[in-house]
Structure 1
């Protein structure tokens, strides 16, 4: 039997915490809760959850800041749970390191679907697209057995989603992948129109792996078509 997944639920509104807790526990998840961003950071370090559901507007420390703090020591998948539906707030959350977002009010079905999708992405670090245990592209290396990425010999810390995007592009070297292909392959079919989440993820990924993010060599954009990792001679 697979081990139970632990989910950290962070919200300063008890009714939302209880709603989320009841629905997740009914699916067999173990729940840890925190009422503000500071407590969330401490709980993430102490419990090492498999997923964090993180509210934005909270006392002491908001969700954006808490997300950034967690990313300093953890690649745990994070879903921002927020009443803020404006594009700038969604982008800010993704840019802080969140993997996904869900907007209040939401149904139990939507919540559970998002949780399952994000956990699937975190688990799907497979080598099936490759013939070699280590993929190399210039000074970028992907160790598929360890799901470890290095650039010029230095390990790069990626979230599960960032790793999946990089792995997908590396598995199709020389071929342009449309946004819809990447979104469907990494996030799932229900995300195929959510280009915003892809743009932010690619931006963060380039900041981490490119020698010069403004002039990328690993992940190129083909305007109006999609993205590709070009062949690297000897790489």
Structure 2
């Protein structure tokens, strides 16, 4: 019998409305979290730095700094999962929130059951600092995991991290046994969660990585926005979890950010193309650039 008590999971709630703060605390505490609640963005950043929580909920409209700026400051210092809550429904606000480092975007009013489901889905996804069950290291979004002693040549390339361009040239495809996915000069390793484009390492958020991995694994098969939402939640088929318009707008926002980092023009895509009215898929390997 192990006498060591497992430390409680911590969640920080950043919300200026006391009623919503209490509701969020009830939902998170029922999910097994110890909660820390604050009423403004500055205190929220300080609370995250002090407690390094697993989950952070952020209101957008708050006194002092807003939720977008709070998310940016938090992301520079922590890999906490960030859920933004707001009454705003414009796509531009979704793009701003996700671009600032948020992992989820929930529109008020929300159902406690839906929020609980979103939290459970987030916890099934790897944090930015996780690799093979190692403890997450505090760091900004997209920080790469610290690897143990390398077992393969691919691990040596990842762990040394010196002059990547001399190791992996522009169009060099990693060895098949390395487990990398490849599309043109874009290479993705699901195990180490590394992405390289023309030999240069890309700094993607965990959500952008998961979306790109899903599309690269599917190749020319179209993935709908609802399908990609379920991928991010860790569900392989439609369940009782509802996929609404806000979820689909969030996928569009993540895709906008991903394409920007890839330097991909939606009107003439090199990597990801939109199938209007259906979803997204990788471009043909042989189409014109």
Q: TM-score normalised to the size of structure 2?
A: 0.66
Aligned: 1:83 with 2:87 = yes
Change in CA separation of 1:140 and 1:3 when aligned onto 2, cut-off 3 Å: farther
Question: Which residue does the alignment assign to 1:37?
Answer: 41
CA contact (8 A) 1:77 1:122 kept: no
Cα distance, 1:10 vs. partner?
A: 0.8
Match of 1:59 among 49, 57, 63: 63
Q: Tell me which residue corresponds to 1:163.
A: 209
Deviation at 1:97, TM superposition (A): 3.6
Per-residue deviation, 1:22: 2.9
Cα drift, residue 212 of structure 1:
5.5
| Distance in structure 2 (CA, Å) of the matches to 1:21 and 1:53 | 10
CA contact (8 A) 2:266 2:274 kept: no
RMSD: 3.2
Bigger Rg over Cα: 2
Please point out which of 6, 10, 15 is paired with 1:11.
15
Question: Any runs of at least 4 consecutive aligned residues in structure 1 with deviations exceeding 6 A, and if so which?
Answer: none
Which whole-Å CA distance do the structure 1 matches of 2:16 and 2:122 have between them?
23
Q: Structure 1: state its 5+ residue gaps.
A: none
After superposition, what is the alpha-carbon deviation per residue over 1:33-62, rounded to whole angstroms, capped at 9, x for unaligned? 333222323333444332221011111101
Partners of 2:115 and 2:204 lie apart in 1 by: 24
Q: Which residue of 2 aligns with 1:216?
A: 269
Q: Which residue matches 1:176? A: 222
Paired residue for 1:133?
A: 179
User: Shift in Å at residue 192 of structure 1?
Assistant: 6.0
Q: 2-side partners of 1:28 and 1:139: how far apart?
A: 44
Structure 1 residue 28, shift from structure 2 partner: 1.0
Aligned length: 229
Q: Bigger CA drift: 218-227 or 161-170?
A: 218-227
Deviation of residue 219 (structure 1)? 1.2
Distance 1:18 1:200, change over 3 A: same
Once the 2 structures are TM-superposed, how far is the Cα of residue 157 of structure 1 from its aligned partner?
A: 2.7
SS in 2 for 1:149: strand
Q: How far is 1:158 from its partner?
A: 2.3
Contact 2:94 / 2:253 at 8 angstroms: preserved in 1? no
Alignment of 1:76-155 (within 5 A): 76-85=80-89, 88-122=92-126, 132-155=178-201
| Whole-Å separation in 2 of the counterparts to 1:227 and 1:12 | 38
Normalising by structure 1, report the TM-score. 0.79
